[in-house]
Structures are given as structure tokens and as C-alpha cells.
Structure 1
Amino acid sequence: MLRFLIRRTSGAALILLLISAFTFFMYFAIPQDPATLACGKNCTKAALDIIHKNLGLDDPVPVQYWHYLVGIFAGRDFPVGHCDAPCFGVSFRNNQMVWDTMMDRLPLTVSLTVGGLVVFLIAGLGAGLMAARFRGTWLDKLFSGASLVTSSFQIYFLGPIVLGIFVYSTGWLDKPKYTPITENPGAWFAGLLIPWVVMATIFTANYTRMARSSMIEQLQEEHVRAARAKGMSSRYVFFRYAWRGSLIPIITIIGMDIAALLSGGMVTELTFGLAGFGRLAIESVTNKDLPVLMGVMLISAAFIIICNVVVDALYAVIDPRVRLS
């Protein structure tokens, strides 16, 4: 396991380095000078020269990239102040530290991810297991049909409908907004309830189908039939043997979904007017703000890599037949 983690960590570091280099050098292929964004409308040549010097844009691009990498691990000094490690630079748009900006947006995205994950895992896995256990009955047909219908929904379609009915027409629920859980847990829950339910409605379909098909496949395995032949109860065999073996494909899509949501649920945040990590990514591209764009890209890539490593490690925990080499 230790060799596996060392090897994957080394590979992850190389991937992040390549992503940062590609993003950095591609950015400078854009014709527009990034200093003009920070200078404003009434910009003079003298003011533009000062901004170039303050942001380090007078240096060659490879030198700027080297300073950027050093700042991540050792910190960096800017005219607006010292940036402690990990330093992802200063925004071209508002002269704020990129790390502080990302940390302000990340709690909302984490709240969306964790809350939505809990809801659609409970609903999806529960429905899938019930459909597999009562295969061929009306309950199986109900869950399978519902998952088939909801899988065709999209957040940008279902979200406005739910908002229109439960917020603007009836007023039963509050408009989605983010309140830190440390300040008011009740407001935190109420403000994110609608996004969680909409996300769960869409994601649950995948987990229902996956859990059902994986469980049915496991119930046909030889070790499950052998356990039944020994006289073990159907319920014990179902949860002790079949359930554990069916988790591997489910763990795979859980890892992919967590990575995608943590990297920024752009459509979800835009649909419900929430300013999280996904909205920050869009703003950085729109404003051509290289430091923010770089920070968002690297953190998002790190989330994806970490989730993949955790999923691979969980394979060996869930199924002893899987060995990490």
C-alpha cells in the first residue's frame, strides 16, 4: 500500500506540474495584455507600466512561471503585501490573494458536495438494493422506471422548475443561499436544501441502476450460491456477501462524482445563483485573470487525482481479491 501511495503521489505531482505549465503558457498566447484588466478604463501608459512592474509582467514568461512555482512552496512578496505559502499569486482583477479568494468560495462547494452526496447515496443505493432484492416485482419496476425518467433530467432544466414552484409561486421554501454552518446550521440547511434535492433527483438515477445491476450480478456468483446452499438466510447472504461485492463499481462512480462536484458544480451554482468554486472558475476565464484561473485549475485537478487514488485504495479494502501492485 505504501509503495502504491508513493507512486501515485509522484505521478500526481507530475500531472499537476504539466497542467500548470500548459495553462500558464497558453494564457500568454492571448493577445490582450492582462495588465489592462487591472488598470481599468481610464488607463494611462505610466499607470500601465507600474502595474506591469508590480505584477512581474515585465519578466520573460518562463521566469514568471518559475516565480509562480516557487511562490506555491515558499511564499512570495508583492507590492500589495506578502503572500504566504501556498501562494497562488495575486488576482489581476482586484489585487486580492488568490488562495484567500479560493478558500472563501470552497466551503460553499464542499457543502453542496457533501449534502448532495448524502442525499443521493441514501436514495440511490436504497432504491437499487430494494429493486435487486425484489427483482421482477412491482417495486422493482417502480424504481427502475423512475430512474429511467429522472436520468433524462438536467439541473438547468429541473432547477428553475423547482424554484418556480416552491420559491416564487408558493413561497414554501427560501431562495437558495449560503450561510456558513458555523454561524447558523438551520440557515445553512434551509439555504442548500433545494440544490441538494435537485442534485439528488438527477444523480440518484445512476446509483439506482448501478446498484441494482451490480447486486443482481453478485447474487449469481458462486460464493453467494454456496452460502445459500449452506442454509444461510437470504437476508444474511444479501447483506454479508452480495452487498460487499457490489460496491466496487459503485465506489468508482462515487469517486468520479465527488471529484466533479468538488472541482466546481458550475451549472448547479449558476442555476441557483450561488458563488462557489464553479462560479469562480467561470469568472476567472471571463476576466482573463491568470492567477485565479491557475489556482482553480490546480486545486480542481488535485481533487480529481486524490479521489482517484482513494477509490483505487478502497478497491483493496472492499475486495480482498484486488491487490495494489
Structure 2
Amino acid sequence: MTAPVRNAGLPAPVRGVLTHPIVRFLARRLLYSLVVLFGVLILVFALVQLVPGDPVRIALGTRYTPEAYNALRAASGLDRPLLEQFFGYAGSAVRGDLGVSFRNGDPVTQILMERLPATVSLAVFGILIALLIAIPAGIYSALHEGKVSDAIIRVASQFGVSVPDFWMGILLIALFSTTLGWLPTSGYRPLFDDPGGWLRHVILPGLTVGFVAGAIMTRYVRSAVLEVSGMTYVRTARSKGLAPRIVTMRHIVRNALVPVLTITGIQLATILSGVIVVEVVFAWPGLGRLVFNAVAARDYPVIQGAVLLIAVLFLLVNLVVDLLYAVIDPRIRLS
């Protein structure tokens, strides 16, 4: 007896879409992401409950009055039973309502959306700088293993990994702003309102982020290229008399991109989560500086919302990286 075909009652085109590997992969990843987000939601909700003392009283500080205290406690839903608070917060978060700020009463979602473009623009600029540094430097270092140029690149990458972000930023400010006067020391201009102003302001924080990320990624690129260079198919390609450039680009670099893509996704997600020190040094109004100020002001709804947004960004970046695996190397199956 033949087993019933799943989704047999659906039209053939619909069945084809539902059974496509990418669609099935996206469905599994979506389910996984929802589970992760639910766990993050529990953690950020517990943040307020685990804070010693009354978070509303702490947040108000010298602004405390009985009227302000009761109004803020009611607006935050902290006057309700614990279980009701959690489900109320979870339901509101699903609708995009993350509460109101303890500090100024503005909606947390609005605050986060105002800061997100600055963080995204800095992250994209910084990761492009990192790739422009890491890919050529890592490939060149691996192809010249043991030579002086390889040693120089390795020492430079180790220096970049060891240097603190704030010190790198201060050095760039001292050189390009204080000494040469080419670039502003701090501030931000929206990309679409003032592209030229945005570029002038993003260069120094972008270089700071890019140099540090590029140093980390250079080591991964070098290791990946060295590993692929020792594979049997690379030696076979060389023994056939193929030009070194063809062997490098077709057989080495392409196959080394998979681990490079992994570290690129990690670095991009790290920058998107908010490079706090860099944003504070350059007065960059991104998520990192927002979290820094929220922690200082004990603005727990903003901290909760920022953590949730950062978790979503991490999951999105990981999803895109997983999809790109199959684009770069067709032998990789989405699972």
C-alpha cells in the first residue's frame, strides 16, 4: 500500500515551493529563531525582576515624587502580578511595543529605530574596511608563507588585535583631526540627508572598527588559504600546469571563502550589536552608546529593548551567512 504524500491536496506549484530546500531551511531557521527569541525575552524580562531594590525608584533618582513613581510604575506594567507582567510584555513585544523609557517617557521602539540607522551605517562601512584589509593581506601572507612579508603581516595583525578600540580611535583623532584637521572629531550626519557630511563623520569611527576587525579577519583568511592550499585538488591543479593566478582564484580563494564568511558574519553581528567604546569616543549615536547611557541612567526598558533588537540582528546575520554558504559552495546543503 502506498504511503500518503504529504501536502498531496495542494496544487503542484505550491507543493514544489514548500518542498524546496531553501524554503524548508528558512522554515526550520524561523522556528529556531523564535525559540531563541523566546529565551531572550525571558532573560530580558527577568532583568528588571532581578535588580536589587525597586527599579522605578532607582530610575527616578532625584526626580522621585509619589505621583511620578505611581505613573511610571503603571506605564511600565510593574503594578500587575508577575505572570501577567510577563505575558503582557511578551504580547506587546510581538506587536513592536517595548514599553516607554524611564528617563524621558518616549516609546522604546521609537528610540531604537532612531539609533539603528547610525549603527547599521557604521557596521557596513567598518566591515567593508575590514574586508578590504583582511582579504588581500591574508591571501598574500598565506601565499608567501615563511617570508619577510608574511612575518610583517602577521605582526601587524597581532598588533591590531591587541590594540584597544579606544586607543586606536584616539590615535586617529589625534592624527586626522587635531594634527591634519581633515576630519571632524565626533558627531553624526544622517546618510540620506547629508551624504557628504555622513562620509566625513563615519570615516574615523569606521576606520577604528575596520582596523580592529580587519586584523582579526586577516588571521582567519591566512589560515583558511593555507589549509586549502594543502588540499589534493590544489596540488593536482598545479601539476596540470595551470597558471598560478587561476589556481589561486578558482581553487584556493573560492574554497577558502566559507570559513572567511563565518568570521565576517561574526564581526558584522558584533559591530551591529553596538561597539560601545567606539561610539562613546566618537559621540556616535548608535545602539552601543544608547545602551551605555541607558545603563548609566538605569533605564531598564531601553536596555531590555536593545537586548531584544541585538538578538534579532544576530539571528538575521547568521541566517544570511548560512544562505550565502550554499551560494559560494554548491556542495554545501542547507540543513
Give the deviation of 1:98 after TM superposition: 0.8
How many Å apart are 1:122 and its aligned residue? 0.8
Matched, 1:87 2:97: yes
2:248 is equivalent to residue 238 of structure 1: yes
CA contact (8 A) 1:155 1:271 kept: no
Alignment of 1:119-268 (within 5 A): 119-268=129-278
Q: Is the 8 A contact 1:178 1:192 kept in 2?
A: yes
In structure 1, distance between residues paired with 2:142 and 2:60: 62
**Which piece of structure 1 moves more, 6-15 or 23-32?**
23-32
| Mapped partners of 1:223, 1:196: distance in 2 | 39
Query: 1:82 — aligned with what?
Result: none
**Is the deviation greater in 119-128 or in 34-43?**
34-43
Query: Percent of counterpart pairs with the same letter?
Result: 35
Q: 1:243 to 1:194 in 2, by over 3 A?
A: same
Task: Report how far residue 263 of structure 1 moved.
Answer: 0.9
3-state SS, counterpart of residue 62 of structure 2:
coil
CA contact (8 A) 1:180 1:188 kept: yes
CA contact 1:38–1:51 (8 Å) conserved in 2: no
For the residue of structure 1 that corresponds to 2:284, the secondary structure is coil
Match of 2:81 among 56, 60, 70: 60
Distance change >3 Å, CA 22–CA 149, structure 1 → 2: closer
Q: 1:141 to 1:59 in 2, by over 3 A?
A: same
Corresponding residue to 1:17 among 33, 38, 41: 38
Gaps of 5+ in 2: 1-21
Change (3 A) 1:121 1:37: same
- Classify the secondary structure of the residue corresponding to 1:178: coil
Deviation for aligned residue 1:106: 0.9
Query: How far apart, in 1, do the equivalents of 2:53 and 2:178 lie?
Result: 42
1:49 is aligned to 2:46: no
Q: Equivalent residue of 1:41, what SS?
A: helix
Instruction: Report the counterpart of residue 279 of structure 1 in structure 2.
Output: 289
Offset of residue 42 of structure 1 = 5.3
- Give runs of aligned pairs for residues 270-309 of structure 1, distance below 5 A: 270-309=280-319
What is the CA distance between 1:96 and its match in structure 2?
Answer: 0.5
Q: Which runs of 5+ in 1 are unaligned?
A: 74-84
- Aligned-pair CA distance for 1:148: 2.6
Structure 2 length-normalised TM: 0.86
Cα separation, 1, equivalents of 2:115 and 2:67: 34
Q: Which of the numbers 72, 89, 92 marks the counterpart of 1:71?
A: 92
- Deviations along 1:124-181, whole A, 9 cap, x unmatched? 1111112223344443333223223222211122211222233234423221321011
Equivalent pair of 2:166/2:281 in contact (CA under 8 Å): yes
Which amino acid counterpart does residue 4 of structure 1 have in structure 2?
F
- Aligned in 2, Cα 1:233/1:87: closer, same or farther, shift over 3 Å? same
Which letter maps to 2:114? D
Please tell me whether the aligned partners of residues 39 and 51 of structure 1 are also in contact (alpha carbons under 8 angstroms): no
The Cα shift of 1:33 comes to 2.7
Give the letter for the 1:178 counterpart.
Y
Moved more, 149-158 or 177-186: 149-158
Tell me how far apart the structure 2 counterparts of residues 193 and 183 of structure 1 sit (CA, whole Å).
Answer: 17
- Cα distance change on mapping 1:321 and 1:64 into 2, 3 Å: same
Where 2:154 maps in the other structure, the secondary structure is: helix
Range moving further from structure 2, 205-214 or 291-300: 205-214
- Alignment length (residue pairs): 314
State yes or no: 1:103 paired with 2:109. no
> Residues 206, 51 of structure 1: CA spacing in aligned structure 2 closer, same or farther, 3 A cutoff?
closer
Q: State which drifts further: 242-251 or 225-234.
A: 225-234
- Structure 1's consecutive aligned runs of 4 or more residues displaced over 6 angstroms after TM superposition are none
Which residue is 1:112 aligned to? Answer: 122
Task: State the Cα deviation string for residues 91-112 of structure 1 (Å, max 9, x = none).
Answer: 1221101111001111111111
Hey, what's the Cα distance between the residues in 2 that align with 1:36 and 1:125? 51
In the TM superposition, what is the alpha-carbon distance from 1:265 to its structure 2 partner? 0.9
Report the Cα distance in structure 2 between the residues aligned to 1:141 and 1:251, rounded to whole angstroms.
24
Matched-pair contact (CA < 8 Å) for 1:176–1:193: no
